Chains A and B, each alone.
Chain A
Amino acid sequence: MRKRKLFFATVIFLGLITSCTKELPLGDVNSQIRLTVNMLGDNLQSPSVRVTLSSPINGTDSFPPVPNAKTYIIAGTDTAKLEYDIFFKTYSLGTFMLQPSIDYDLVVDAPGYPTATSKLSMPQIIDLNGTVFKDSIGIDNQGFPVGGVDIVLKDPGAVRNFYRLTFFTWSTSLSEWEEASLDFVDTDIANAAQRNQNGNVLLKDDLFNGSTQMIRLYAPFGFAGQNPKFKIIVDNLESNYYYYLQSIENYQPSGGIFQEPAQVLTNINNGVGIFAGSTQTEFIIN
């Protein structure tokens, strides 16, 4: 009897507050096909631009590549015309590389679609000289001694910089670099760092803009008599690159009833996608 009353009250309560749903006609949505252009480039590899079409929301998924687009990357008066690679289905040019501190324009002219354009400003190379390994920097909260790597990052002033940090240790048994976890000693840096689901550790320079920042990482302890090797890779990301990664991380396909959907950043005029770059600095501690 009591359970019936409880059930009765629950049903009435939920009936009052719960929303009902009704399907809306998909045909009423302003469905459209747009040119999709994606390129995340750096200063070490030839840029590769993927051009596809989006799929209308009320149709079946299909993202056909666009092989006949005229694709250019322009730096000042220099224009590089990228060629379509039928194997990778991307546009690239083997002899062309993105250079640090240079601005580039992208133009993608595909028949039947408005010309898609975008811009990127390649960030400058970061100086990591002075980065060292220390065999013992104290003890951890379990009471064990720990080693550390002090990354000396000379942050350029006057501009906001966005970094992606990657840390490797050399495996003598496998004779290859192994990616290691990035554990910051400094609490402020640890709190400021963004860790994405795909393993990226991103850091804005709010805390140290324009100054030389020592970022201390925990590292394995006890290399006495050995010759440990570490590798630090710092990608200086263009702001759009950084926010693009963040938006991918925060992407929510639907906001539900009370939230807005979280969109993926796009910086392509007359299209969707991303055109952004980074410069990479590698530092090996031997």
Chain B
Amino acid sequence: MLNKIVYAMLCGFALEANAQVVALSGHVWDAASGEVVKGALVTDSMSALSTFTNSSAYYSLAVGSGKHEITLTADGYKTQKMLLKVYRAVEKDFYMEPLDWDSTDTLDVLYHARFDYRSSHTSGRQSLIKEYQSIASNQDLPKYLQNLPGVQMGVDGMAGLYVRGGNADQNLQMMDGLPVYGLGRAFGFLSNYNHGLIRDFEFYRGVAPARFGGRSGGVLDVSYMEGSTKTLKGNFEFNPLCFNLTLDGYLDPSRKTVMSMGVRRSWLDLLVSSSNQDQELIANFHDLNLKVTHRPDAKTSISAWIYNGRDKYGVNLTEQYRDSFGSATIDEFKLGYQYQNTLAGISWAKMLNSSTQAKVTAGLSRYKFSNSLSLEREVNDTNGLQKARFEIDLFNSITDYIVKSDFQKTIGTLSLFRFGSEHVIHQFVPGVERLLSSNNSGQTREEEAGKINNQNAIENTLYTELEFHSSTGATINLGGRLWTFMGKNKTFVRVEPRLLISQAVGKTDGLKFSLGSSNQGMHQISSVTGTLPQNGWIGSSDQFKPMRNWQTTLGYYFPVAPGVEVNTDLYYKWFDGLSEQNGVQVENTRKDFWTLVLEQGKGTSYGAEIMLVKKYGRVSGLASYGYSNSSRVFENINFGKRFPFRWDRRHKLSAQMIYKHSKKMTYNFSFVFMSGNPVSLPSSVYLDAFGNKVFDYAERNNYRLPNYVRFDVGFERAVNPIQYSMDAVQQFWGVHIYNINARANMYAGEVISSASPGQTVRAFDGRYSFVFLPSAYYKLKF
């Protein structure tokens, strides 16, 4: 392997020295919609040199002057081959045709197995997610990703991603290049990502190239549609959780300005009449996406986008009564909590010359949770109207202000150079409590606690990547990040090397290796079982060090049948600076409260994964098996002894299949088997030094819950289109049954104390959700 790499590099340099090098560059577009195509592989078949289009669909491939057979492949598109005569720098845009509903493209799979240096990597487009039905008939990207080996879902039905022994808060989840926090709407039933707007995604379970960083787990990079330049189109969906309206199209006759937008809102609360003023139940969520892109010329693109998602739950009660003295009293009680995400960004991308592209992005990402309780009393008696009010608000938030730049330059025939920077100002509000009271005489008293914990941090990163391509089929992505995190009273400076190598083996196979490190300066004070909306964030400081991981992977990828690829991976991962709750409960307004409730420690995770994927065609889906072993060690937890990670499920077998019986009828099947996750249960009861009975938790996570087994089935049927003028609105409806085998899949266990004086424990109870959950939906496409 090493010999081949050295040979490839030598060959490459020799070629550079002898041949006249010219750049072939441009963009790749979707021929049907005019959308950009990210991740398309542009390959010079003669020299076997290749490159991917970036998020602006820009590519740049340096070739020797002469005739070249260029092959263009991309997920979900028909492969194109063309002969080009290249004697000087050429700017060439390509337009790719989407695949037909029942066809697959074998060449795409073959090329990615051979030339893609990324391992443990999954990418796809909207169609891939739209066809995958999940709980409550929703199509949600994280639910699809939960089928991958090495990825655990956490609590059943939620959008958590626990990647190779990491926590959910260790993932870098991005929406158009900006980080997004929290699990999303409805406690995570729906992620922050509106599937109807997703253009493409890529997900790294393993080592990501140096352009990604800031978190020490997986990377989920989601790009939203910019909008069709061909027509105005849209979708409307209605399912048990929400309705979802998405639109995209051009805004001006010249079609230089396009937009996409989407609105999701729950509808269940609309059933409850708002005319009842005495009691009101509040349970609703919504989110809104809007993205506008302007392309003044073929080389320049300017985008601006916003996202706002909000959940609100609570109850308002009003009581009116009159006593025997004639005093009229109105009592109002309000209890509720809400959380919301806000993202706003703007980006500018320009092809500076035939070999260089620049992109600058600026934006903010904010997550805020608040919990409030208010009591108000109005008394109208002989003394007149008297009022008193008491209100308590608890809130936490994180706000990031981000500026980043990315440059890409082709150097010589075999090298591609990427570099850039990222600057983030983090504002952490881990927990503030505000009390407000006022009385009839207008006196107001306001107290605030917890502001002492507010802190800011500045994260600066520089990165470079150098890609070597060789005629022998070796592709090397060598990069690194210089990461600095200026937290409270301490600055951390760390270097993150990244190495990703792919060596083509034979005509179709690829051998992959990667090694890399990443750091994370922020910590979520998350519960052990799952991320909750109220879990706040803190920054690394002189009291809390950053998280770091090192990971190495070895993979072998090969096609086994037309359109079918097998990925096999081995990985080993080391963690440091992990945070975990020690069980201590203190108010989160207390100074540096996290130093009391969180411990920091180390961990390891290793495993083997095999995955069979077929993304397109009449039958598509994936089947995977993963073995993993994830453990942690903390000095002050479990008495310093190593214990299994809460989501350490040793075996995971997952199969997901979509069968398109006809253009009108599609069937959906899903099967998941997982080892039970460990939980902490006591092994005995003993007397403490004061004679009180206490549980002997001999070890943390010492009990494995029963295995998780789930079958889902569903179908979607197209019905007669609704005709209007020259067009038609397509109609679909579908049914989905989650956990049709009605198994109680447990995710947590707890001790049930006995009321009997002679026995401390009555039972252990396992917690589970969603046994046999049928749902239906209706969709319009216009």
Contact = CB atoms under 8 A, between A and B. Distances in A.
A185 B585 CA distance: 27
Contact of B750 (A6, A28, A32, A257): A257
Interface in B680-729: 680-690, 692-698, 700, 702-703, 705-706
B271 A248 contact: no
Contacts, number: 194
Contact of B689 (A12, A61, A255, A273): A273
Contacts of B276: 2-3, 6
Contacts of A30: 683, 698, 702-703
Given A26-B761, A38-B688, A264-B688, A31 B272 contact: no
B583 interface: yes
B490 interface: no
Interface string A56-73: 111111010000000000
A260 interface: yes
Contact of A13 (B283, B687, B771): B283
B187 interface: yes
Contacts of B680: 255, 260-261
A113 interface: no
A34 B688 CA distance: 13
B650 to A, nearest CB: 17
B187 A260 contact: no
B744 interface: yes
A3 B279 CA distance: 9
A263 interface: yes
A219 to B, nearest CB: 27
Nearest to B156: A19
Contacts of B279: 3, 6
A256 interface: yes
Contacts of A258: 527-530, 532, 748
Interface in A172-193: 191
B761 A24 contact: no
A55 B685 contact: yes
B272 A55 contact: no
Contact of A19 (B189, B591, B705, B767): B767
Contacts of A18: 769
Interface in B557-585: 580-585
A18 to B, nearest CB: 8
A9 B705 CA distance: 32
Given A6-B279, A54-B686, A273-B689, A250 B767 contact: no
Nearest to A248: B688
Contacts of B687: 36, 38, 50, 52, 63
A33 interface: yes
B684 A60 contact: no
Contacts of B617: none
B443 interface: no
A264 B694 CA distance: 8
B583 A262 contact: yes
A65 to B, nearest CB: 10
Interface stretch (B160-168, B292-300, B363-371, B752-760): B752-760
B686 A251 contact: no
Contact of B582 (A28, A253, A262, A272): A262
Given A17-B187, A257-B750, A8 B683 contact: no
A251 B694 contact: yes
Instruction: Identify which of B693, B697, B753 gathers the most chain A CB atoms within 10 Å of its CB.
Output: B697
A244 interface: yes
A30 B750 CA distance: 15
A259 B581 contact: yes
Contacts of A254: 750-751, 753
A256 to B, nearest CB: 6
Interface string B212-232: 000000000000000000000
Given A29-B683, A259-B527, A259-B528, A9 B271 contact: yes
Nearest to B268: A9
Interface of B: 136, 187, 189, 268-269, 271-273, 275-276, 279, 281, 283, 527-530, 532, 580-585, 591, 639, 680-690, 692-698, 700, 702-703, 705-706, 744, 746, 748-751, 753, 758-761, 763-769, 771
Which 10 pairs, one residue from A and one from B, show the smallest C-beta to C-beta distance? A262-B583, A54-B686, A258-B527, A54-B684, A38-B689, A24-B764, A19-B767, A21-B765, A36-B686, A254-B751
Interface of A: 2-3, 5-6, 8-10, 12-13, 16-24, 26, 28-34, 36, 38-40, 50, 52, 54-61, 63, 191, 244, 246, 248, 250-264, 266, 272-274
6 contacts: A29-B683, A39-B689, A61-B685, A61-B759, A255-B583, A257-B748
